[in-house]
Amino acid sequence: MKFSKMQGIGNDYLYFNCFEEKIENPSELAIKLSDRHFGVGSDGIILIEPSDHADCRMDIYNSDGSRAMMCGNGIRCVGKYLYERGLVRKDVLKVDTLSGVKTLFLDVKNGIVHSVKVDMGKPVFRPAEIPVIFSKETVIDEPITVDGNEYRITCVSMGNPHCILFVDDVDAVPIEKIGPELEHASIFPDRANIEFVQVLNSGEAKMRVWERGAGETWACGTGACASAISCAVNHKTGRKVKMHLKGGDLSIEWDDRTDTVFMQGPAEFVFDGTID
């Protein structure tokens, strides 16, 4: 099996070209290969598959083997992979995912994709569709108690579930303790990605993420979108936010006319490999 290791601001996955390879049990493979001591080391694996209504289909599995609906950092890498490995020769692409078809706008110079802008679709606030078990119509700055600890949360789906908490200092968050407690909280029937956000000014925020099925990662694209939206709905920033993550920055814009969220950021190859 051939794979390409790629990363989007430090959120690293192993990519398999399923136009050429057949992957039998991706969940088991994700667990085995993601291990940073006994495997290749990654936050999960991503399958690039044929599609009859898009340029390809993206299927993502977290490092714990769970299948996810969408991956923001991953889809930018898929766009770069398709273009630079010659599967497509255009700079506007459609990638199908379990949360619908996304449109990608590639910034190409001399045949190299320098950054990718993704139409991430519309945020979803209805608890039943996130999903989160809550009695109100939205979960915006709501108090909850988990394992005896009080939190104020904002929940939104970007095709996958996100729970955002605002903090004064992201670097001081005991993420290894709070992350899994909230990821597995009973109010999240499908678990959730947990983001901790420190607002810097009306156009910038710093964040850390405890990802569902992967633990703390260096970045989460859907999480950056969910965090920027949460900043806006809580009146802490405007609708254009530069999100500073451990692995780098993402530019997020929530269009007030179309309700659409755009995410722009880099995508990089690390190395190609083969597995016997």
Ligand X SMILES: N[C@H](CCC[C@H](N)C(=O)O)C(=O)O
What does the binding site for ligand X look like in residue numbers (CB under 6 A)?
A: 11, 60, 62, 68, 71-74, 160, 193, 211-214, 220-223
* Catalytic option among 56, 71, 163, 231: 71
Nearer to ligand X, 73 or 227 (CB): 73
* Contact call for residues 12 and 42 (beta carbons, < 8 A): yes
Pairing of strands 149-157, 161-166: antiparallel
Is 73 annotated in a binding site? The answer is yes
220 is catalytic: yes
Where are the alpha helices (H) located in the chain, listed in sequence order? 26-34, 72-84, 175-183, 221-233
When computed from its CA atoms, the radius of gyration of the chain, rounded to whole angstroms, is: 18
> 197 CB contacts (<8 Å, ≥6 apart)?
164, 165, 166, 167, 170, 205, 206, 207, 227, 230, 231
Is 149 annotated in a binding site? The answer is no
Smallest separation, CB 148 to ligand X (Å)? 26
Question: What is the 8-class DSSP label of residue 171?
Answer: G
Smallest separation, CB 111 to ligand X (Å)? 25
Backbone phi, psi, residue 150, to 5°: -90, 135
Smallest separation, CB 84 to ligand X (Å)? 20
Nearer to ligand X, 26 or 72 (CB): 72
Nearer to ligand X, 4 or 160 (CB): 160
Is 195 annotated in a binding site? The answer is no
How many whole angstroms separate alpha carbon 86 and alpha carbon 89?
6
18 is catalytic: no
Is 25 annotated in a binding site? The answer is no
Residue ranges of the annotated binding site are 11, 62, 72-73, 160, 193, 211-212, 221-222
Catalytic residue positions, numbered: 71, 220
Residue ranges of the annotated binding site for substrate are 11, 62, 72-73, 160, 193, 211-212, 221-222
